[in-house]
């Protein structure tokens, strides 16, 4: 019985699935609004998306985005509208440009540097080991075993 209850609880749709959005006048507009605003940061409560924030400014910005959607603006145009006013900070996925290169490519660069470092270390170690093997005594041993 307890098992079934647990399963039922786990399968129940999560309560947070519905965002606190005003009633949809036009479901298509609302659907696009949710998609776009998930990618935008609310500036008042910086770690929430524009879609989930209840801050007043977020509501105003959603209203503006809704207006732009109705005017048939593309996603890029809508994002540009916000970036022009609030800066790159509103985008959760920053644009790729010289200023953000370290952000986008830095981790790969560091990975490459680490791989190079590892490779060099291993090679040095191998050389050191090789030299140890090349020392006279083991060499004569090897020769001896060969004779046998």
Partner 1 sequence: MNKKFLIPLALFAALVVFLAVGLTRDPREIPSPLVGKPAPEFSLPVLVGDKPFSPSDLKGKVWMFNVWATWCVACREEHPLLVDFAKSSRIPVVGLSYKEIQPQDMANGPLKDAEKLQMARERSLRFLQRQGDPYSLSVLDLDGRVGIDYGVYGVPETYLIDKQGIIRYKRVGPLTPQILIDTVLPLIQTLEAS
- Distance of alpha carbon 68 from alpha carbon 81, whole angstroms: 9
Token output for 112: 């490459």
- Rank residues 21 and 83 by Cβ distance to partner 1 and give the closer one: 83
- Determine, following the binding rule CB under 8 A, whether residue 56 of this chain makes contact with partner 1: yes
Neighbours of 49 (CB within 10 A): 17
Burial of 37 (0-12, 13-18, 19+ CB in 10 A): buried
Q: Which stretch binds partner 1 (CB under 8 A): 22-30, 71-79, 83-91, 134-142?
A: 83-91
- Rank residues 126 and 141 by Cβ distance to partner 1 and give the closer one: 126
| Residue spans of alpha helices (H) in 12-74 | 27-38, 56-70
Q: Which stretch binds partner 1 (CB under 8 A): 52-60, 68-76, 102-110, 136-144?
A: 52-60
3-class DSSP state of 115: helix
- Determine, following the binding rule CB under 8 A, whether residue 131 of this chain makes contact with partner 1: no
- Give me the least distance between CB of 13 and partner 1, in Å please: 29
The one among 22, 24, 60, 75 contacting partner 1 by CB under 8 A? 60
Tokens 């603006």 sit at which residue? 73
Neighbours of 116 (CB within 10 A): 10
- Determine, following the binding rule CB under 8 A, whether residue 83 of this chain makes contact with partner 1: yes
- Determine, following the binding rule CB under 8 A, whether residue 87 of this chain makes contact with partner 1: yes
- Give me the least distance between CB of 61 and partner 1, in Å please: 7
- Determine, following the binding rule CB under 8 A, whether residue 24 of this chain makes contact with partner 1: no
Number of H helices, E strands in the chain: 6, 0
Name the residues that contact partner 1, by CB under 8 A: 43-44, 46, 56-57, 60-61, 64, 83-89
């Amino acid at each position: 019985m307890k098992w079934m209850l647990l399963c039922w609880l786990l399968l129940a749709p999560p309560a947070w699935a519905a965002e606190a959005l005003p009633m949809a006048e036009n479901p298509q507009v609302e659907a696009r609004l949710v998609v776009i605003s998930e990618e935008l940061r609310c500036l008042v409560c910086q770690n929430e998306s524009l879609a989930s924030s209840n801050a007043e400014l977020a509501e105003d910005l959603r209203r503006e985005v809704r207006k732009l959607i109705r005017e048939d603006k593309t996603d890029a145009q809508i994002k540009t509208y916000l970036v022009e006013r609030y800066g790159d900070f509103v985008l959760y996925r920053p644009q790729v440009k010289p200023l953000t290169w370290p952000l986008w490519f830095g981790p790969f660069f560091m990975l490459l540097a680490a791989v190079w470092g590892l490779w060099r270390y291993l090679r040095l170690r191998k050389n050191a080991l090789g030299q140890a093997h090349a020392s006279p005594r083991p060499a004569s041993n090897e020769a001896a075993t060969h004779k046998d």
